[in-house]
Structure 1
Amino acid sequence: MKDVVEELAAVRRTMGTGSVPAGEAYTVELRRRYDAPIGDVWDAITSPERLQRWLKPVTGDLRLGGDFELDGGEHGEVLRCEPPRLLKVSWLYGPEADDWPGTSEVEVRLAEGPDGDTEFELIHAAVIGEPSFPIYGPGAGGVGWDLALLSLARLLADGSTLDHDNFEKSPEGREFSRGSAAAWGQAHLAWGGEPEQVAAAVEATTKFYVPDQA
């Protein structure tokens, strides 16, 4: 398995703007290649048994129009499902999020690569007024998605499962989260973020994901 530096470099990160039903949104976008056929990657992002191995346990109806809920409290509706190339869901956090329908969506696009591999793209669009954005910038969601895609990489490579809690506390995991926060800072700058705001957001994100150890 690649080390954390290689895995960080495998992802292309960008930030942009878009729209969701609730209005104007910002996006965090992650693109990378997986050395696995498109059918295998599609199965890994839609099969409940495999989803729990790289993301979180999921319950509900994963068909078009169905509602789902993850073990961490994230929940939503399957908005589009076009196997094996496109999956789009609404993405809400906790029961209070029901007061803000249409504020966050996640879309995954897959394309066949030239060597039997798969080009993977994930776009998370959230309303710009989301409270965490001014503090953490794109790292608010970006670091979490980086960790998830690292876990997916390991599952696709050799079927292994990443223990998120232990990994994030390990030296390797802390290095990965620090590198991810910095990489999202670079994406924020490229988007046009003010350098002082970006630096503060990277620091806040790093402290959140890599707290001081007692």
Structure 2
Amino acid sequence: MDILEHINAVHREVSRTGETATVLMRRSYQADPEELWDALTDPERMKRWFWPVTGDFKVGGSFQLQDNAGGEILECEPPKRFKVTFGGPTSLLELRLIPGANASTELELEHTVSELPAPGGAGALYVGPGWEGGFLALAMYVDGTFPTDRTPVEVADDPVMVDFNEQSVRAWMVAVRDSGTTTEKDLYEAAELSMNQFAPGREL
């Protein structure tokens, strides 16, 4: 896997309004919106590349990722966008699918979180690298390179994925620094925690 190719395929932005921080990501996939939407919302397909999920998949319903976060389904416009709470009412996640050229689709993820444990935009380091791993897994699933004999958790623990996560944390450090939303001290402290979570054993 060309790690830098996948790192460079993602556009990252970090912003802050008061105590609310927003992470924005974009990546293009070689799949039409309907196909990508199905991969993102069909529980049987999601568990192959992302995570087992259960719930009542309609507006007003709820979902639960196995042994992970859950939330409420606030808005849904297939195959264009959906918006949910993720892990709590102050954490809002929206995915938008934008048709591109040659049957491609641009996927845009916006995660807005209030009451982050890290000051300012440094909190992006707690969520950005995690979602980026999901973006990579989706790309591998769409192009047929995601291993069919391993679970997403097993793939996530692969040394190559840990290398990817390390580079992702470093890329998010640049995005946070460029946003001007936090101090260098708070950025570095959040980055250390992020590295310990997503790439254990690696140092800044």
TM-score normalised by L of structure 2: 0.88
The residue that corresponds to 1:13 in the other structure is 12
Contact between 1:56 and 1:72, CA under 8 Å: does it hold in 2?
A: no
Give the whole-Å Cα distance in 2 for the aligned partners of 1:159 and 1:202.
30
The residue that corresponds to 2:171 in the other structure is 183
Shift of 1:159: 6.5
Shift of 1:54: 2.1
Shift of 1:66: 0.9
User: Does 1:206 pair with 2:192?
Assistant: no
1:172 to 134, 149, 160: 160
User: Does 1:141 pair with 2:127?
Assistant: yes
Give the whole-Å Cα distance in 2 for the aligned partners of 1:62 and 1:71.
15
User: Does 1:60 pair with 2:55?
Assistant: yes
Shift of 1:199: 2.4
1:19-168 alignment runs, 5 A limit: 25-92=20-87, 97=88, 102-127=89-114, 129-131=115-117, 133-134=118-119, 137-158=123-144, 160-161=146-147, 163-168=151-156
Q: What's the % identity of the aligned pairs?
A: 35
1:191-202 alignment runs, 5 A limit: 191-192=179-180, 193-202=182-191
Map Cα deviations across residues 2-60 of structure 1 (whole Å, 9 max, x no partner). Answer: 52221111101111136xxxx95211111010011111001111111111122211111
Contact between 1:137 and 1:202, CA under 8 Å: does it hold in 2?
A: no
TM-score normalised by L of structure 1: 0.84
Contact between 2:33 and 2:98, CA under 8 Å: does it hold in 1?
A: yes
Give the whole-Å Cα distance in 2 for the aligned partners of 1:109 and 1:85.
6
SS at match of 2:143: helix
For the aligned residues, what is the CA RMSD? Answer: 2.1
Shift of 1:81: 0.5
With over 3 angstroms needed to count, the CA separation of the structure-2 counterparts of 1:105 and 1:205, relative to structure 1, is same
- Comparing 66-75 with 198-207, greater Cα deviation is found at 198-207
Gaps in structure 1 of 5+ consecutive residues: none
Contact between 1:108 and 1:122, CA under 8 Å: does it hold in 2?
A: yes
Moved over 4 A (4+): none
Q: 2:10 corresponds to which letter in structure 1? A: V
